[in-house]
Amino acid sequence: MPRVSRLRGWIACALLLAICAVAHAGGPRWVTGPPYFTTAGAPVVWYTNAPQYFTDPGDLSATVNHAAAEAIVAAAASVWNVPSSALVLGEGGSLDEHVSSANTYLTASGVQFPADVQASNYLAKQIAVVYDYDGTVTDLLLGSGASDPAGCRQSGVTESVDSIAADGHILHAILVLNGRCTGTDPAMQLQLQYQLMRAFGRVLGLSWSQTNDNVFTQSPVPTYQQALHWPVMHPIDIVCGPYTYQCMAQPFSLRMDDVSALDTLYYIPNGTAPPGKVDTLAGANRVTGTISFPTGQGMRGVNVLARRLEQFWGTPEDWYSVSAVTGSLDRVNNGNPVRGQGTTLGDSMGRAYPGLEGLYALTHIDIFPGESWQDILIDTEPVNPLYTGQYAVGAYAISTIAPSGTTTTQESQVQLSYGDSVVSEQPKGAAAVCDTSSDGDESSPALVPTTGWWSGMLCPYGHTAWSTMTVRGNRSLTMEATAQDESGYVSVHKMRPVLGVWNASDPTGTLPTLGAASTAFNTPATATTGLTVTVSQPAALRMVVAEERGDGRPDFHYQARVLYADSVAPASVSATGGVVTISGMGFRPGNTVTVNGAAATVLSWSANTIVATVPPSAASTSTSADVTVSDPLTGGVSTMYGALTYAAPVAQRLLLVSAPSGSVFVGDALTPSFSVRVTQLDGVTPIANQQVTFGVVQGAARFAACGASTCTLTTDATGTAATAMTVLAPGLTLASATAAAGSVTTSLNAQTRVRTLTLQPASVYVASGASLSLALTAALADNSAPVAGVGINWTALTSGISLPGYWSTAGAQGSSTLPATLTMAAAHQASLRACAWSSVCAVMTATSVAQQDLRLAVVSGAGQSVAAGAAFAPVVLQVSDVDGHPVVGADVTVRQTLDSGTPCIGHGRCPLQPVLATAQSTLVSDANGEVQVVPLQQGSTATVTNLAASSGTQGFVSLSVLQTP
């Protein structure tokens, strides 16, 4: 266990003791301070150590007569008479009359009680106890129905300290007991007594106390001893049944903590105890000290608790005996530049003095009975966040402050009777930096960063941060500050930022002239205060971030920003809207833009720019519009009033420039593109920046501009919007272009494309050993229609065939012819491939035909008989293979004899005809396997021409033709 942390030197010790001697610090309900009080930093106590209460002479209720009521009051008051406190709370007698609605009423000067009940009678009667027989006084003070028995836990006793003198003394108080909160059940009277006891504590000037608070929170589950040391002045009762006194162990006995608090206010210095009293520290110890930041600044709002360790024992008590909150004498509300310094009693509490900020005093810790000394262990904890407002513990009444850092148990050893020790500590890890060097002050505020975002801290006590910026006229802007802890996490339990804005030219020391957010956390965002101001003329502004209580400490961090939209470019757009860039500061992703309340589409954000597409104008004429940037997280807004001008809307026409139509193929990027033009009514003057939507009315198609079936384009400077399109399915397709001016439609009949490439000849049979040139023609077609201009790739797949080139282009007829050279070896098959559109191909084959497989046939010209003088028609022979395929390149040998054609008359063998002529030739079969032979012919006599032709080893044919005289 850590050892004693005694004072860090005699100087500090002397300072603390001096303060304690003056202040008797503890947990006072009120502490003096300016402007109302003439002193500062002293607990407010009764002007006399022997205040008396005076009771109503009537009955409390139909079930509790006067005597019974007197007993209740006496029991509740007597608890507060303890030997170690200078206070003697006694009964002074009766009021002059029974107080009721008959003699109590509201006047212009307030609620008028009977004369002896009024504060002005304080010298004679300090505390007036009113028996509100029928609840009508309670109702008068608190409202109709306030005395309803259902609310007795709160309205059973109404307490008001209605006079506190400027010298820091309580003069007068009123306690109203609600008779409707009594009844035949004795528990009801005990509950009233319990509430009255606590109300007396408040009237005597005691604050609420947080000691063994786990009794209230039940976390961890308390021990019975902890419950026995849960103070009477705990802030909020436990509700375990109809009567809360039953939820407290020994409810009518003050705890050591209550006594310590009372002793703090009504201290009996050593050796000054009057008869019947003892010195406050007789048989007791006091521990004072400070909890402070590493910077030396006191840490306010820390609950400091003491538990005892009996001499020669190793284990301390497992409950706390006494507590006090640091800074209880410090200034409660130091004012700030936003709200100023109030002048009410509540605004006058405490003294702004550095030595008080972290100071605590545990005034009366009893030494164990029968022992001569003890050790005291000191712990710390935060104040329960519920203990604010009417339940406040310590000086932070508006909200509690989460302390900074980590403490360890400290020990004050061997404390004898009258022992008065000092235990101070700097929590480990507490905020150690107070750097506000970049802050401006009221006379020379710092420039707001160009991004509009900045971080800062408010410290030391009373520090304020001032900024300045220049704005255009007709603008609103929002200043925000988000409270953070020393680690940068947003927290509602640290500073409470308030904001103010002035014209820079306003005199210093004045309250805000343009706007003030004097209450913290007024936005939906956690821990964020916002202030929106409007500026009509160009101006330099002065701004402040301050703390609501005028506080400041190293763990009071914040992030601030100014959300300000400065300008918009372009400042004019057509009536149909357009893209604009908003310049300013404090922007962030998620900010929204509206134009005259209509949402714009935000395209991008940065801290200083927002790019957005503003919506069309709804006006029929040229108009100016307000552009507003909003932050939905905080509710912050900045508006540029009349900053954007919409041109007057103009009449329009939508003209079709071009569109694909008629029969098209599925999948083709169609030409021409679908193009329309928006013009004024003259059909000539283009209108730019108009939205045109291309869409499919029927069928399926895709527009290249956006790759979808619907595209919205903006017309260019020529008023044109165009996109290529592709039909995706066969059948009728209707596509439209629609603009504000109207709509145009195009109709297409789409079919699935069938592409062919045909080679002619597709196959050829060539006489073995032949070498020849063959014209190859590739014909291209789309769905039977020739296609010109398409490239054809030729490839010889085998030997025996060669081409003059590998690439040709289909001509106008959709075909291309190349001369192929074939050199056919025996038993060989050569092939060639032609391809177009990459994948549409055809193959030509040339098959070698052996000589023995050649056959010869007469195609035409056989059996002719012509008169002399007429010419024979050529005889056409065809070479083929055994399967009848024409064979090209085959040699055909033709022999002719021209014989005389004298008729053979009579019987017997005819004589041989004389041979008039002979001829022999060799021909080569053409692509059709054919050769043409012209028969010999001469004279005018009758002749017979005999032809004999052979090809290969097996091909042979003979014929004769006749010439008649």
Partner 1 sequence: MRFVQGSYGLCVACGLLFAFCCRSLAQAPTVAATVEDALHQMEARAGVIFTGQVVAVRPLGSNALSPAVVEIDFRVENAIRGCTAGSTYTLREWGGLWAADGARYQPGERLLMLLHAPTAAGLSSPVDGQDGAIPIVGATSQVASASSVAAIGAVAATESVDLRWLAAKVLRPLQYAPPQLHRGVHPLAAGGLAVAADGARASSRESSSSVAMVVAMLRQWEAADAAR
Nearer to partner 1, 484 or 848 (CB): 484
CA distance 282 to 270: 8
| Among the residue ranges 256-264, 265-273, 626-634, 888-896, the one whose residues contact partner 1 (CB under 8 A) | 626-634
Are residues 475 and 585 in contact, defined by beta-carbon separation less than 8 angstroms? no
Are residues 896 and 877 in contact, defined by beta-carbon separation less than 8 angstroms? Answer: no
| Residue the block writes with tokens 């032979």 | 933
Question: CB of residue 84 vs partner 1: minimum separation in angstroms?
Answer: 26
* Cβ-based nearer residue to partner 1, 172 or 475: 172
348, 34 in Cβ contact below 8 A? Answer: yes
Smallest separation, CB 748 to partner 1 (Å)? 47
DSSP state of 615: P
Strand partners, 112: 105
Shortest Cβ 417–partner 1 spacing (Å) = 25
Q: How far apart are CA 184 and CA 413, in angstroms?
A: 53
Contact status: 188 vs partner 1 (CB under 8 A): yes
Whichever of 62 and 754 has its CB closer to partner 1, that residue is: 62
Q: How many CA atoms lie within 13 A of 374 on its CB side?
A: 25
Q: Which of residues 894-953 bind partner 1 (CB under 8 A)?
A: none
In whole angstroms, how close is the CB of 289 to partner 1 at the nearest point? 15
Interaction between residue 433 and partner 1 (CB under 8 A): no
N- to C-terminal Cα separation, the chain: 155
Question: Rounded to 5 degrees, what angle do the CA atoms 760, 761, 764 make?
Answer: 165
By CB under 8 A, the residues from 653 to 712 that bind partner 1 are: none
**522 or 714: CB nearest partner 1:** 522
For 891-942, give the DSSP string.
EEEEEEEEEE-----SSSPPPPPPEEEEEEEEEE--TTSEEEEPPP--SSS-
Window 702-741: residues binding partner 1 (CB under 8 A) = none
Which residue from 75, 190, 236, 666 is in contact with partner 1, where contact means CB under 8 A? 236
Token look-up 């019975």 returns 224
| Per CB under 8 A, 314 contacts partner 1 | no
Judged by CB under 8 A, which of 12, 17, 190, 227 binds partner 1?
227
User: Is the bond leading into 385 cis (omega within 30 degrees of zero)?
Assistant: no
The one segment of 56-64, 85-93, 784-792, 912-920 that binds partner 1 by CB under 8 A = 56-64
By beta-carbon proximity to partner 1, the closer residue of 388 and 851 is 388
Nearer to partner 1, 80 or 387 (CB): 387
| Segment interacting with partner 1 (CB under 8 A) among 407-415, 573-581, 832-840, 894-902 | 407-415
Name which of residues 434 to 493 contact partner 1 (CB under 8 A): 451, 453, 482, 485, 488-490, 492
**Residues 369-388 interacting with partner 1 (rule: CB under 8 A):** 377, 379-387
The C-alpha atoms of residue 122 and residue 174 are separated, in whole angstroms, by 11
Q: Give residues 763-822 in contact with partner 1 (rule: CB under 8 A).
A: none
Residues 523-542 that bind partner 1 (CB under 8 A): 523-528
Binds partner 1 (CB under 8 A): choice among 32, 118, 155, 937: 155
Q: Site for partner 1 (CB under 8 A): which residue of 96, 97, 148, 716?
A: 148
- When asked if residue 239 is in the footprint of partner 1 (CB under 8 A), the reply is yes
Within the chain, what is the greatest distance between any pair of CA atoms? 197
Q: How far apart are the C-alpha atoms of 25 and 329, rounded to whole Å?
A: 7
649 counts as binding partner 1 under rule CB under 8 A: no
Q: How far apart are CA 286 and CA 281, in angstroms?
A: 7
**Shortest Cβ 612–partner 1 spacing (Å):** 17
Answer yes or no whether residue 5 interacts with partner 1 by CB under 8 A. Answer: no
**Six-digit token pair at 901?**
């054609």
What string marks each residue from 488 to 507 as x (binds partner 1 by CB under 8 A) or -? Answer: xxx-x---------------
Rounded distance between C-alpha atoms, residue 488 and residue 491, angstroms: 9
Beta-strand relationship, 887-888 and 763-767: parallel
Least distance (Å) between residue 336 CB and partner 1: 13
> In sequence order, what are the beta bridge partners of 796?
832
Helix axes 66-78, 186-203, angle to 10 degrees: 50
Binding segment (CB under 8 A) for partner 1, from list 356-364, 514-522, 642-650, 694-702: 514-522
> What is the rounded CA–CA span in Å between residue 64 and residue 47?
33
Q: Please state, in angstroms and rounded to a whole number, the distance separating the CA atoms of residues 889 and 769.
A: 9
For residues 587-616, which are near partner 1 according to CB under 8 A? 588-590, 607
Going by C-alpha positions, the residue among 172, 171, 177, 173 that lies closest to residue 152 is 177
Taking the complex as a whole, the smallest distance from the CB of residue 104 to partner 1 amounts, in Å, to 10
Q: Closest CB to partner 1 among 563 and 625?
A: 563
Decide if residue 508 touches partner 1 (CB under 8 A).
no
Choose one: 86-94, 212-220, 834-842, 900-908; the region binding partner 1 (CB under 8 A). Answer: 212-220
By rule CB under 8 A, what string of x and - marks binding of each residue 327-366 to partner 1?
---------------xxxxxx-x-----------------
Tell which one of 260, 280, 404, 937 touches partner 1 (CB under 8 A): 404
Beta-carbon contacts of residue 731 (< 8 Å; ≥ 6 apart): 699, 749, 750
Stretch that binds partner 1, among 134-142, 358-366, 790-798, 859-867 (CB under 8 A): 134-142
Provide the b/e sequence for 912-921 (b: ≥16 CB within 10 Å).
Answer: ebeebeeeee
Tokens representing 278 are 């003892």
Is residue 4 within the footprint of partner 1 (CB under 8 A)? Answer: no
**Which is nearer to partner 1, 161 or 539 (by Cβ)?**
161
* Binding test (CB under 8 A) with partner 1, winner from 238, 282, 835, 857: 238
Please, which residue, 482 or 689, has the CB nearer to partner 1? 482
The single residue among 93, 242, 538, 819 that binds partner 1, judged by CB under 8 A, is: 242
Contact (CB, 8 A) for 947 and 896:
yes
Size of the site for partner 1 (CB under 8 A): 137
Is 149 a binding residue for partner 1 by CB under 8 A? The answer is yes
Which position among 68, 704, 857, 868 is part of the footprint of partner 1 (CB under 8 A)?
Answer: 68
Which CB sits closer to partner 1, 241 or 863? 241
Cα dist. 170→23, 40, 262, 384, 502 in Å?
Answer: 16, 15, 15, 28, 41
Smallest CA-to-CA distance from 459 within 343, 551, 544 is with: 551
Q: Is residue 225 within the footprint of partner 1 (CB under 8 A)?
A: yes
Q: What DSSP character marks residue 203?
A: H
Of 842, 845, 846, give the one whose Cα is nearest residue 779: 842
Q: State yes or no: residue 38 binds partner 1 (CB under 8 A).
A: no
User: Shortest approach of partner 1 to residue 790 CB, angstroms?
Assistant: 54
Q: Is 561 in the site for partner 1 (CB under 8 A)?
A: yes
CA 146 to chain centre: 46
